[in-house]
């Protein structure tokens, strides 16, 4: 056996290969770890690099384009002209400016030449004066003499002297030196001032020239772009973050979205299709919300701190409560700060959602802060009243005590103290009384402002054809697709029970019988009075109030007449204290007439405030009873089939159905939208939605769809809202009802919302969150902006935008109707209200809003625009809402409140004569369009009467209006160009009457003052003068005045006669 030694593993086998592999692996791991550390975990780095590269390419391309555009503008004749003007002006003043510079230089040299000697001597003199003041009296005269001798000098200085700078050497005393020193400075200051006055027009011209370039160049100048390019080249690759510690905002979004704040428009196309690099699509919005103050995530959602991946940064992962709002709901982010804004610029989708929440009646079941706040406010006012009353009783008690203490006081001082205390308490009681009065009023007003989404069902027996009711309840959308009334998923017996309950709970009364009207006239009235601002006759366009195309199938004619004549009229008043509808017997009992309206609104039984109006938004058009009959007669013809063709519902009077019906009505919360007898105090049945968007997801019941929602990616707030709104019963899907109470079914009815409406409402609800950012960010202003916020709620509540234009570019519903498309039709549109607060005095507006007829008795008219067929209705606003509206308009126009009218100089006789002459001159067309109260004339009037001006208008606005009305109301019938500027004032652009010769005042201002003084007598005088003027106009034109005055039929030009008139005011 050969002695082969055993292989020594130490020498023969090697782990080298493994080691090599392992070390390579370790190396690779290290490389990978390092790579991941610097790139993998920092995806934003590559984003930033890529952006930088693409942005530079983009700018490199932009700059030459912009340069070319600039070149074109620079070569344009307009720019050249401006440039020439600038050059000419420069040339003109150059010599003078140079001369001034030269003189200034000489003065500077003179000053410095003077300075050394003067300051040395001044120092010496100062020390001497000090010595004199601080030495003994005996030594003073000696020192003074010495100083005086020194001051005589002479001090020899060589000074450059204007105008040529020649050096002049002279001897000066100290006083002369000092004078010269001051003079040089003064001279220099004067010269500098002269020079700047000289150069001022040049800098103006330069600004004008440069402004021409920027105004005509689309986008930034090439120079600005080059600046951006330089910045982009130098930008380091680093985490870009916005950090606002006290708001808890750390947003690093710009580390990837690097182009978001760039001042140029960057589209995805510019960035090779990369959306991440675009600039913010709404720079104006960004300017309002400076990212350095607001960050990004407070508006957009997402996890601003996360950088490791897009999903993380956008917050689209479990446990992150605030995911990024998807693009279609991006405006949800506005709501948390703008909850008070009913109308929000830049957020049309959100505004639409907020609007729908009210309009579709969501608010009937779901409380949402700021929506329909009246009932809650009434309760809180009552609480406050109770509190004050107890305070008052306590104070009353203390008064008695103080008086007794005073009476029994040991000395007068103590007594006086107690008496003072008693007096002070009595004053506070009076103060409390005042407050209680105000609260009483407020409570009354709030009752008046309380409105319901749906009609008053107490009136059902006097209003409705009974057979129609079950058809309607079972499926309102089948009968009228656009209705706000939702569809409750009811079984036939439930429909019957509800219909029977509603019918039996209605007030039984007989309305006065109305004779028939003229449907042809009624149609005309319906189409022109403004009904179509809210109503419609078809399903095509969105409308605020009901589509009336089938009214004839369901309504009683007598009721319809009353409704059109005054929609707020109730059959019976309701006493909230007794909780019942009063009858005539209640009044009779107390010997009172059965009269109840806004002026007679106290309960005869207990003095409590009654609900005397129907809780409807529909206003009163102040039509005559005849016209109301005409319209009702027309509307009643609108039907697709006869009311008698509906199946007869004899069960409506079956008392056995009432209890079931009552339970169902309660269960479905019908009283949220309707007034129903006995259910006036029913609360809202739905959940409050004010903070629904931030309700934890696990508290939101997806029921059996949870798994499906997770799998399909809609397990979030958006998904829940969208599915719920599209199909409210969706979360009942899959439930087994065998062992369950059918009353557990979801109650929310179907609204048949359109996809766009669902999206708007979802956006609104997603935004309805418990805000995570500090309240200082919330838009809750205390100044006039608050008035604007509050006003929009009222404007929206009453659909003012159905007839009026509040913003340029916003169309009212009326404006869209074919009737108003022709030039004639356009002049029949209600006024635009863009500048209303600047136009009218708030005091006047308050009166107008309370009664647009502006007359307590003659109400079948419009107080301002009698020439319009369309009529401003009476809304019976409470003082609360009138105040809000008045403040709203004043605030929109930036007008201070309260309004103090400027004092207008009274007109002199000469000025009255001039104003009359101008008003009646054939060149001035004022009286051709403006109403005068003369029926023959007003047949053609298309503008308000001047008599209204004094109380209604603001003089500053009136002047601006005369100068260029189209700047205030684009498209107005009032023409521009009536006045032209001459120097610093305006003069009439047409032929001016001779009386104005030598007058250099502002003519529009003169007319304003005249308008604000005009009286009915004066107006009549104007009319007759104007008529005479027109008769003689041709003659005046063709003949000399001298010829005219020889003719007894024409006693000289009217102007001459006015001048000759004796001094005195109007009407003499």
Distance of CA 732 to the CA centre of its chain: 42
**Is residue 1037 a contact point for another protein (CB under 8 A)?**
yes
Contact call for residue 154 and another protein (CB under 8 A): no
**Region 825-844 residues binding another protein, contact defined as CB under 8 A:** 826-827
481 contacts another protein (rule: CB under 8 A): no
**Nearest to another protein of 263, 970 (CB atom):** 970
- As a whole number of angstroms, the distance between CA 839 and CA 1028 comes to 33
970 binds another protein per the rule CB under 8 A = yes
- Nearer residue to another protein within complex by CB, 69 or 592: 69
Question: Considering only CA atoms, which of 243, 282, 275 is closest in space to residue 258?
Answer: 275
Q: How far is the CB of 852 from another protein (least distance, A)?
A: 24
Q: Which of residues 258-277 bind another protein (CB under 8 A)?
A: 269-270, 272
> C-beta of 847: minimal distance to another protein in Å?
29
Find the angle CA(814)-CA(820)-CA(821) to the nearest 5 degrees.
125
**Size (the chain), residues:** 1068
Residues in the interface with another protein (CB under 8 A) total 55
Spatial CA neighbour of 47 closest among 221, 235, 195, 255: 255
Nearer to another protein, 351 or 969 (CB): 969
Q: Is 343 in the site for another protein (CB under 8 A)?
A: no
Considering the complex, what minimum distance in angstroms separates the CB of residue 491 from another protein? 52
Peptide bond connecting 163 to the previous residue in cis, omega within 30 degrees of 0: yes
- Residue 17 near another protein by CB under 8 A: yes
Candidate ranges 16-24, 473-481, 641-649, 657-665; the one touching another protein (CB under 8 A): 16-24
Our CB check for another protein shows the closer of 758 and 987 to be 987
> How far is the CA of 851 from the CAs of 443, 502, 864, 872, 878, in angstroms?
22, 35, 11, 9, 12
Q: Estimate to the nearest angstrom the gap between the alpha carbon of 587 and the chain centroid.
A: 46
Helix (H/G/I), strand (E/B), else coil: 848: helix
In the shown chain, the binding pattern of residues 985 to 1024 toward another protein, with x for contact by CB under 8 A and - for none, equals ---xxxx---------------------------------
How far apart are CB 988 and another protein at their closest, in Å? Answer: 8
Q: Is 733 in the site for another protein (CB under 8 A)?
A: no
Q: Binding residue for another protein (CB under 8 A) from 203, 966, 1015, 1047?
A: 966
Q: Which helix (H) or strand (E) holds 54?
A: helix 43-75
Residue partners of 1028: CB distance under 8 A and separation at least 6: 1054
d(CA 19, CA 24): 8
* DSSP codes joined into one string, 775-786: GGGS---SSHHH
Contacting residue, 92, 175, 380, 822, with another protein by CB under 8 A: 822
Closest distance to another protein from the beta carbon of 63 (Å): 12
Smallest Cα–Cα separation from 541: which of 810, 754, 807, 829?
A: 754
Among 975, 1051, 1065, 1067, binds another protein (CB under 8 A): 975
**Contact with another protein (CB under 8 A): which of 164, 318, 492, 824?**
824
**Near another protein by CB under 8 A: residue from 25, 152, 427, 595:** 25
The pair of three-digit structure tokens given for residue 958, joined into one six-digit string: 């009136």
Closest CB to another protein among residues 776, 1037 = 1037
CB closer to another protein, 32 vs 577:
32
Q: Counting Cβ atoms within 10 Å, is residue 17 exposed (0-12), middle (13-18) or buried (19+)? A: exposed
Rounded to the nearest 10°, the torsion over CA 965, 970, 976, 980 is 70
Which region, judged by CB under 8 A, interacts with another protein, from 2-10, 763-771, 806-814, 924-932? 924-932
- How far is 850 from 445, CA to CA, in rounded Å? 13
Measure the CA–CA gap between 231 and 1026, rounded to whole angstroms.
70
Beta bridge partners of 157: 170
First to last CA, the chain: 159
Q: Does 923 bind another protein (CB under 8 A)?
A: yes
Report the nearest approach of another protein to the CB of residue 942 (Å): 6
**Rounded to an integer, what distance in angstroms lies between the CA atom of residue 867 and that of residue 945?**
10
Comparing CB distances to another protein, the nearer of 35 and 130 is 35
Does 170 participate in binding another protein (rule CB under 8 A)?
Answer: no
- Cβ closer to another protein: 239 or 1030? 1030
C-beta of residue 221 within 8 angstroms of C-beta of residue 70: yes
The one among 473, 974, 1011, 1025 contacting another protein by CB under 8 A: 974
Cα gap 968→964, rounded to integer Å:
7
* Separation between Cα atoms, residue 500 and residue 473, nearest integer Å: 11
From 359-367, 769-777, 851-859, 983-991, give the range in contact with another protein by CB under 8 A: 983-991
Binding mask of the shown chain, residues 212 to 251, with x at each position contacting another protein by CB under 8 A: ------x---------------------------------
Q: Is the peptide bond preceding residue 154 cis, with omega within 30 degrees of 0?
A: yes
Closer of 28 and 41 to another protein (Cβ): 28
User: Among 1, 10, 15, 18, which residue sits at the site for another protein (rule: CB under 8 A)?
Assistant: 18
Q: Which residue, 340, 146, 349, is CA-closest to 756?
A: 349
596 vs 820 by CB, closer to another protein: 820
Does residue 643 contact residue 554 with C-beta atoms inside 8 Å?
yes
**Which ranges of 668-775 would DSSP assign to H, the alpha helix?**
706-712, 717-726, 755-767
List residues near another protein by CB under 8 A.
17-18, 21, 24-25, 28, 31-32, 35, 57, 61, 65, 68-69, 72, 218, 269-270, 272, 821-824, 826-827, 922-925, 928-929, 937, 939-940, 942, 965-966, 970-978, 988-991, 1030-1031, 1033-1034, 1037
């Amino acid at each position: 056996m050969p002695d082969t030694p055993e292989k020594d593993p130490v020498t023969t086998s090697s782990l080298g290969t493994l080691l090599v592999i392992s070390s390579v692996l370790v190396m690779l791991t290290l490389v990978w770890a390092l790579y991941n550390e610097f790139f993998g975990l920092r995806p934003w780095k590559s984003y930033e690099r890529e952006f930088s590269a693409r942005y530079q390419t983009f700018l490199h391309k932009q700059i030459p384009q912009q340069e070319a555009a600039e070149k074109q503008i620079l070569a344009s004749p307009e720019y050249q002209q401006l440039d020439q003007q600038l050059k000419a002006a420069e040339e003109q003043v150059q010599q003078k400016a140079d001369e001034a510079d030269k003189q200034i230089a000489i003065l500077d040299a003179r000053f410095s030449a003077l300075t050394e000697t003067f300051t040395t001597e001044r120092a010496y003199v100062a020390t001497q004066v000090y010595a004199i003041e601080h030495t003994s009296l005996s030594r003073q005269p000696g020192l003074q003499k010495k100083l005086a001798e020194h001051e005589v000098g002479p001090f020899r200085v060589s000074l450059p002297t204007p105008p040529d700078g020649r050096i002049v050497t002279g001897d000066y005393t100290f006083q002369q030196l000092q004078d010269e020193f001051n003079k040089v400075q003064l001279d220099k200051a004067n010269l500098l001032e002269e020079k700047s006055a000289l150069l001022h027009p040049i800098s103006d011209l330069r600004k004008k020239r440069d402004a021409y370039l920027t105004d005509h160049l689309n986008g930034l100048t090439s120079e600005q772009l080059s600046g951006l390019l330089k910045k982009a080249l130098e930008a380091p690759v680093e985490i870009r973050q916005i950090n606002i510690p006290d708001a808890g905002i750390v947003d690093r979004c710009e580390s990837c979205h690097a182009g978001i704040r760039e001042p140029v428009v960057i589209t995805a196309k510019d960035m090779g299709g990369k959306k991440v690099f675009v600039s913010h699509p709404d720079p104006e919005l960004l300017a309002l919300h400076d990212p350095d103050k607001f960050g990004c995530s407070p508006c957009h959602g997402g996890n601003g701190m996360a950088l490791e991946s897009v999903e993380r940064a956008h917050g689209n992962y479990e446990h992150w409560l605030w995911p990024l709002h998807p693009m279609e709901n991006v405006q949800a982010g506005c709501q948390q700060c703008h909850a008070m804004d009913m109308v929000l610029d830049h957020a049309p989708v959100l505004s639409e959602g907020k609007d729908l929440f009210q309009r579709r009646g969501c608010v009937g079941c779901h409380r949402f802060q700021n929506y329909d706040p009246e009932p809650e406010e009434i309760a809180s006012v009552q609480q406050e009243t109770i509190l004050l009353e107890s305070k008052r009783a306590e104070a009353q008690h203390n008064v008695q005590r103080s008086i007794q203490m005073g009476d029994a006081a040991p000395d007068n001082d103590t007594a006086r103290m107690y008496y003072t205390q008693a007096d002070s308490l009595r004053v506070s009681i009076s103060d409390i009384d005042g407050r209680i009065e105000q609260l009483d009023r407020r409570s009354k007003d709030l009752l008046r402002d309380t409105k319901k989404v749906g009609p008053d069902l107490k009136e059902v027996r006097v209003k409705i054809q009974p057979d129609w009711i079950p058809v309607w309840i079972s499926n309102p959308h089948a009968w009228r697709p656009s209705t706000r009334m939702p569809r409750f998923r009811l079984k036939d017996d439930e429909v019957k029970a509800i219909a029977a309950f509603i019918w039996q709970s209605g007030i039984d009364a007989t309305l006065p019988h109305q004779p028939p009207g003229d449907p042809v006239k009624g149609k005309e009235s319906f189409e022109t009075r403004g009904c179509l601002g809210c109503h419609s006759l078809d399903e095509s366009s969105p409308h605020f109030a009901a589509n009336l195309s089938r009214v004839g199938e369901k309504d009683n004619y007598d009721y319809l007449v009353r409704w059109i004549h005054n929609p707020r009229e109730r059959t019976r008043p309701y006493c909230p204290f007794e909780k019942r509808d009063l009858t005539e017997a209640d009044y009779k009992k107390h010997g009172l007439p059965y009269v109840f309206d806004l002026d007679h609104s106290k309960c005869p039984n207990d003095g409590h405030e009654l609900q005397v109006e129907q809780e409807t938004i529909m206003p009163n058009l102040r039509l005559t009873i005849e016209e109301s009959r005409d319209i009702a007669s027309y509307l009643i013809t609108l039907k697709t089939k006869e009311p008698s063709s509906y199946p007869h519902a004899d069960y409506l009077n079956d008392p056995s159905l009432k209890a079931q019906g009552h339970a169902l009505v309660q269960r479905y919360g019908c009283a949220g939208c309707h007034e129903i007898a006995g259910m006036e105090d029913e609360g809202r049945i739905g959940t409050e939605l004010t903070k629904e968007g931030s309700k934890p997801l696990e508290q939101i019941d997806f029921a059996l769809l949870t798994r499906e929602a997770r799998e399909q990616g809609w397990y979030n707030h958006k998904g829940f809202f969208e599915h719920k709104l599209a199909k409210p019963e969706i979360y009942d899907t899959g439930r087994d009802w065998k062992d369950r109470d059918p009353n557990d079914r979801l109650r929310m009815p179907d609204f048949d919302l359109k996809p766009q409406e669902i999206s708007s409402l979802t956006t609104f609800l997603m935004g309805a969150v418990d805000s995570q950012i500090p309240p200082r960010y919330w838009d809750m202003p205390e100044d006039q902006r608050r008035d604007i916020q509050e006003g929009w709620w009222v404007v929206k509540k009453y659909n003012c935008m159905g007839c009026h234009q509040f913003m340029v570019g916003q169309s009212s519903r009326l404006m869209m109707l074919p009737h108003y498309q022709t030039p004639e039709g356009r002049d029949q549109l209600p006024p635009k209200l863009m500048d209303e607060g600047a136009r009218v005095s708030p005091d006047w507006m308050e009166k107008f809003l309370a009664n647009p007829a502006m007359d307590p008795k003659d109400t079948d008219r419009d107080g301002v625009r009698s020439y319009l067929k369309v009529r401003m209705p009476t809304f019976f606003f409470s003082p609360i809402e009138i105040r809000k509206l008045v403040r709203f308009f004043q605030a929109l126009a930036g007008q201070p409140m309260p309004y103090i009218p400027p004092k207008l100089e009274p007109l002199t006789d000469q000025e009255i004569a001039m104003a009359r002459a101008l008003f009646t001159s054939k060149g001035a067309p004022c009286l051709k369009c403006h109403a005068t109260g003369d029926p023959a004339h007003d047949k053609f009037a298309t503008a308000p009467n001047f008599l209204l001006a004094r109380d209604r208008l603001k003089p500053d606005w009136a002047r601006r209006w005369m100068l260029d009305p189209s700047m205030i109301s684009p498209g107005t019938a009032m023409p521009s160009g009536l006045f032209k500027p001459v120097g610093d004032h305006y003069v009439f652009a047409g032929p001016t009457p001779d009386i104005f010769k030598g007058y250099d005042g502002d003519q529009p201002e003169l007319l304003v003052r005249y308008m604000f003084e005009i009286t009915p007598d004066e107006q009549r005088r104007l009319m007759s003068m104007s008529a005479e003027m027109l008769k003689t106009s041709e003659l005046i034109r063709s003949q000399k005045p001298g010829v005219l005055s020889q003719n007894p039929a024409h006693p000289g030009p009217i102007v001459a006669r006015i001048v000759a008139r004796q001094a005195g005011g109007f009407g003499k």
